[in-house]
């Protein structure tokens, strides 16, 4: 026996929710088998807050010390009130569209429809083949704005197919396990006084991502489907041995 602390998870999933996670992963896995090109045609998106100051992680604050050196001290700090909300769309090659949401703007269905219009313009200019063939798919989570009636009507009117995504599953969301952690790790521990500085530094981080990073991200996504099935639909990120 050993004492271990509990791991925080987004939600304690019911058996039905776990079964839905497994079901979606099986569907995606089968679609990838039937069409090896489907991954390259998926454009995924999500939103996140970027802070003027986000405390560095314990790993980042580690210091080399001699055995008899005193333990370093650090004052407890909290996130800055200066922040900006960021939304991004990307595929297996690179970003397709990104923007900072205006201060005070609620991300509702009406606003998200406007963002999707800009996404379509991004596809038309950056992915002309996908635009011409209309063979791309949209992947986003089940946030209220994404599943609102006005958004569903817009997607239907533009013949945009949405890839299924189970609720309460950040470990199956590309942005949550790939893009945002990379971006925020770079920004943690740094101070920005204005939203303009936040925007500039965030753009700099995005520019450091390579084609290989995006390729590896999509491959990791396929691995996540298997890990989800192995965990019988429960959360698997951070579990030892997985």
Domain assignment present for residue 181? The answer is yes
Structure confidence at residue 66 (pLDDT): 61
Domain assignment present for residue 236? The answer is no
Token pair 């454009």: residue: 43
Nearest to residue 8, comparing CAs of 237, 180, 181?
237
Beta strands in the chain, from DSSP E residues, in sequence order: 42-51, 83-90, 95-101, 137-139, 161-162
Domain assignment present for residue 111? The answer is yes
**CATH number, residue 101:** 3.30.420.10
Structure confidence at residue 65 (pLDDT): 57
Q: Is 79:54 a contact under the CB 8 Å cutoff?
A: yes
Domain assignment present for residue 20? The answer is no
Residue 198: give the domain boundaries.
38-55+78-230
Domain count, the chain: 1
Structure confidence at residue 170 (pLDDT): 86
Say whether pLDDT at 63 is over 80. no
Domain assignment present for residue 207? The answer is yes
Domain assignment present for residue 118? The answer is yes
pTM: 0.84
What confidence tier does 132 reach under pLDDT thresholds 50, 70, 90?
very high
Domain assignment present for residue 72? The answer is no
Mean pLDDT over residues 40-57, rounded?
Answer: 82
Q: What is the tens place of the pLDDT at every residue in 168-185?
A: 988 888 888 788 888 887
Domain assignment present for residue 134? The answer is yes
Q: Is 19:113 a contact under the CB 8 Å cutoff?
A: no
């Amino acid at each position: 026996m050993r004492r271990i602390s509990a791991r925080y998870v987004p939600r304690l999933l019911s058996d039905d929710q776990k079964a839905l996670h497994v079901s979606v992963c099986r569907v995606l896995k089968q679609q990838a088998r039937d069409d090896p090109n489907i991954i390259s045609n998926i454009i995924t998106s999500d939103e996140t807050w970027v802070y003027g100051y986000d405390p560095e992680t314990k790993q980042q604050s580690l210091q080399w010390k001699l055995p008899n050196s005193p333990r370093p001290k650090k004052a407890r700090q909290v996130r800055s009130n200066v922040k900006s909300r960021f939304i991004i769309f990307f595929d297996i090659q690179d970003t397709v569209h990104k923007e900072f949401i205006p201060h005070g703007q609620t991300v509702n269905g009406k606003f998200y429809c406007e963002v999707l219009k800009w996404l379509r313009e991004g596809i038309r200019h950056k992915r002309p083949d996908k635009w011409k063939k209309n063979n791309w798919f949209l992947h986003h989570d089940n946030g209220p704005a994404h599943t609102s009636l006005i958004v569903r009507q817009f997607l239907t009117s533009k013949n945009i197919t949405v890839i299924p995504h189970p609720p309460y599953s950040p470990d199956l969301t590309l942005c949550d396990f790939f893009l945002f952690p990379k971006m925020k790790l770079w920004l943690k521990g740094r101070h920005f006084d204005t939203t303009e500085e936040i925007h500039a530094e965030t753009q700099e981080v995005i520019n450091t991502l390579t084609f290989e990073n995006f390729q590896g991200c999509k491959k990791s996504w396929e691995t996540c489907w298997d890990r989800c099935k192995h965990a019988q639909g429960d959360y698997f990120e951070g579990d030892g041995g997985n």
